[in-house]
Amino acid sequence: MISAVPGAPLANVVLRTDALWEQMGSAIGGLTRGLDGFDSAAFHRTLDWDLARASAVVSERIDQVHDRDLRALIDHVHLGYVRDVVPVLPSLRQSVIHADLNDYNLLVDARAQQLTGIIDFGDVVYSHTVNEIAIAVAYAMLDAVDPLLTAARLVAGYHAEWPLTEAELSVLFPLACMRLCVSACMAAESQRAQSDNSYLRVSQQPIHRTLPALAVVQPRYAMYVLRDACGLAPVPSSPTVVAWINSHAPSFAPIFGRPFGEKQGDMRATAIDMSAGSPLLSGDAHENGAALLDARIARQLAEHGAEIGVGGYDEPRIIYDWESEPVGAERRTIHLGLDFSGGAGAVLYAPMDGTVHAFENAARHHDYGPVIVLRHETHGADPLTFYSLYGHLSLDSLDQLEVGQQIARGTAFARTGAAPANGDWWTHVHVQLITDMLDVPCNVNGAARASVRSVWRSLSPDPSTFLGVPVALSSPLPTNEQLLSARRAHVGGNVRLSYGNAPLTVVRGWKQYLFNERGQRFVDAYNNVAHVGHSHPRVVRAVAAQLSVLNTNTRYLQSQLTQYAQSLTALLPAPLSVCYFTASGSEANELALRLARAAPGARDVIVMDSAYHGHTTTLIDISPYKHGGAGGSGAPDWVHTVAIPDVYRAQAEIAGEPGAWFAADVERVLERLRARQTNSDLRAGGALLSAFISEVCPSVGGQILPPPSYLGEVYARVRAAGGVCIADEVQTGFGRLGTHFWAFERSGVVPDVVVLGKPIANGFPMGAVVTTPAIARAFDNGMEYFSTFGGSTAACVAAQATLDVTLDEGLQQHALQVGAELLSGFRALAEQHEVVGDVRGSGLFLGVELVKDRLTREPAPDEASFVVARLREQQVLVGTDGPHHNVIKVRGPMCLGSADVESIVRALAGALREMP
């Protein structure tokens, strides 16, 4: 009936998004629905592959598994199965199922991320219905980065189509693990029988790699994750515990002996923000820990007249050893308790009757230090157990404590500790409720990964009511949905967000990293504005100090302006010695055009194809990237476009020396202009054109390094025609290329006007135009030049600090070295992946051009967007550029380091492998 089913076996598909798992789960749910009620005696048969027979199959064959580690794992899983699953089996629904939805039987359209077909109905059997999805989950988890989350997406899709019962959900994960054990046992047996049949072993390597990770997952935890995916309360008892606490709110004794409040004798508290974006953690406070934070918190408490700071439940934090894990690995950032900051030595009183469940001194750096767990019972018809944990206590809190000891409500039982004994943290107590200890003896995690946030909110519900903390002391952060809708309502639609439907929210920048609202760290390999690193302390301090003293305009004598003008011009070749300051790169390019027109003659300007020089009306006119693109209305008659000197794209056509060949395009424009000149033009003796403006190394044009001779050839022709040569160094200035401080130095030329922006002041609004005394004199024609913000005191200080750091930290040389590492990483990938057509650049100005075919060099823009989106998933930020939007642009702050090179190259390698 069917000759071919489209798609590739799931096992061969590298790209596996959440969307694929959910769609696949729902398709499998559809299969279950379709088979519901279908039956025939033929399906009531005994098959070794029937998961209902798993225990027998494993018992019969376990002796044939020779790998001792694997055998131990199988024994472990089997034991758990007998304990947790076997008793539940009689209550499970039964029906006819496919029974072998392994990763070679599920066919997938990798590009569309959809299941296209299911094959091999040889194992169809009447069995427990849940086995269908459990088997699919088993193979989906193989080699997954996070097997449990993969399982969760698949199960979520299935549940939406065919709702699972609570009993089914409770056994699904152990069933899936057991299926892998069955596979391993069957393979061991068949290997002895037919040792050359490799098909029988296809799944074995992935099973050997994955089973160890699955075997250590606490089965209840796995169930909670799956329940959460299905929209159920993750910990079934949690809502009841929370409801009990809420209904007993008045009964809890105040944790510090006095209620929180404003009345005489109350404990005066204020909210402390420790979230990823909190200014309390500005600069390197999150690295330099205890003493600094204590001082800052003490100041905040004093400002609010408070004795103690409260906050933090469900708060995303970056304070937990944020650099200890590589970028891309998810760290635990979500704080699961409440903090009481300050008050070293403050006595803690038990909020309700409890028993000492456990205690220890978790003395590792940044652990809890002394920590106590109390066990409590809700009273009533069906008492439930829950726990409260107190961490970062004083050492003497553990003296004379005994497990099992009763602690009555309102009894003093511990004291707030201080560094270093408290785990070397700032002075605070961490209090956390726990609804299931998950077999952890004492030291339950105080922070969770954001991807399982809702599971942990159920394992550790909000302790505010238990601790008598007023609601007013918590101020939730805006959600991404709220931010997006406010933005849609009040900000112009074409003020674009990156990453399409999944924009990135950022709350902090530090060095070469950006942090999102969940506290996840991204390598910023894209933003060259944060030249010396996001929030560089020297720049921040200099600007803050200046803003607190004076920030005004250029109409007064100020040393900051003249000092920066001197510093800047000292780095430029003669005769570039006169500066104008602006508030942006656009403003600077506008001014550059005015300077060029100060000389009498034509208005005409030559620009490079695909160039971008700014967003103002005139700059759109000279930016083919804009006026030639969507919404553009073409070049006006005074703008003449020449080819971009892109050796890679033009290679087939280039004849002779490439620089001269490209420069001939300028000559052709000049010839057209000459032909247009009238006799009266000639008599007036004016210039043929006003200016040639170009990015020395086009960035928007696709991270192009023109042939070094190009600019010399062009500038000679332009000057002969009376034109001014403008170098837009907005992207390339200040050492980015590594080899030179200014990109024009690569070509051995000196422009007449240099335009600077973006990185000049590390993000403070600033731009500059530097020109020759002659041009400056011609411009000084009686009309005042004034830019309100351009060259303001603080802007000059920001620019000076940025320049100083650039030189003091040797960032040009550093960029050259890191750029070389990146280039060699990218070139190695180009050897493995045909889609990489060209790798180019210098220093931290790099491009990776993707093509559909290396011979035709047909651009591959969709592939480039795919890479950018996948890199974001790996927490690496890059962008695309070039006229065909097929060049992956890598720039980033100049302090990117070798560890970041590894992250970037690893992420790119992953994205290229995943490309469908």
The residues that touch ligand PMP, with contacts defined as CB under 6 A, are 584-586, 589, 612-615, 695, 699, 728, 730-731, 757
CA distances from residue 874 to 19, 149, 835, 898 in whole angstroms, order as listed: 17, 16, 20, 17
Residue number with the shortest CB distance to ligand PMP? 585
788 burial type by CB count under 10 A (0-12 exposed, 13-18 middle, 19+ buried): exposed
CB of 800 to ligand PMP, least distance (A): 19
CB of 663 to ligand PMP, least distance (A): 20
CB of 459 or CB of 846, closer to ligand PMP: 846
What DSSP line would sit under 569-598, residue for residue?
A: HHTS-TT--EEEEESSHHHHHHHHHHHHHT
Q: Which one-letter amino acid corresponds to residue 116?
A: T
CB of 528 to ligand PMP, least distance (A): 9
Q: How far is CA 141 from the centre of its chain?
A: 24
Are 755 and 585 in contact by the 8 Å Cβ rule? The answer is: yes
CB of 113 or CB of 699, closer to ligand PMP: 699
Calpha distance 137→345 (Å, rounded): 51
CB of 125 or CB of 608, closer to ligand PMP: 608
CB of 698 to ligand PMP, least distance (A): 8
CB of 757 to ligand PMP, least distance (A): 5
Other CB atoms within 10 Å distance of the CB of residue 634: 10
Torsion angle (degrees, nearest 10) of CA 89, 90, 95, 96: 60
CB of 609 to ligand PMP, least distance (A): 14
Does residue 874 come out as left (phi exceeding 0), alpha (psi in the -120 to 50 range) or beta? alpha
CB of 757 or CB of 825, closer to ligand PMP: 757
Calpha distance 272→256 (Å, rounded): 17
Gyration radius of the chain's alpha carbons:
33
Q: Which one-letter amino acid corresponds to residue 589?
A: N
CB of 761 to ligand PMP, least distance (A): 11
**81 Cβ partners below 8 Å, 6+ apart?**
54, 55, 174, 175, 177, 178
Tell me if residue 47 falls in helix, strand or coil: coil
Q: How far is CA 711 from the centre of its chain?
A: 39
Q: Helices (DSSP H) in 267-368: which residue ranges?
A: 285-303
Tell me if residue 200 falls in helix, strand or coil: helix
CB of 728 or CB of 849, closer to ligand PMP: 728
Are 512 and 818 in contact by the 8 Å Cβ rule? The answer is: no
CB of 700 to ligand PMP, least distance (A): 6
CA distances from residue 299 to 305, 309, 879 in whole angstroms, order as listed: 10, 11, 42
Cis peptide before 420 (omega within 30 of 0): yes
CB of 615 or CB of 674, closer to ligand PMP: 615
CB of 425 or CB of 744, closer to ligand PMP: 744
CB of 592 to ligand PMP, least distance (A): 10
Measured in degrees and rounded to the nearest 5, phi and psi for residue 912 equal: -70, -35
Instruction: Say if strands 767-771 and 578-582 run parallel, antiparallel, or are unpaired.
Output: antiparallel
CB of 728 to ligand PMP, least distance (A): 5
CB of 591 or CB of 871, closer to ligand PMP: 591
CB of 814 to ligand PMP, least distance (A): 22
CB of 61 or CB of 740, closer to ligand PMP: 740
- Per DSSP, 345 falls in state T
CB of 183 or CB of 582, closer to ligand PMP: 582
CB of 333 or CB of 589, closer to ligand PMP: 589
CB of 714 or CB of 915, closer to ligand PMP: 714
CB of 530 to ligand PMP, least distance (A): 14
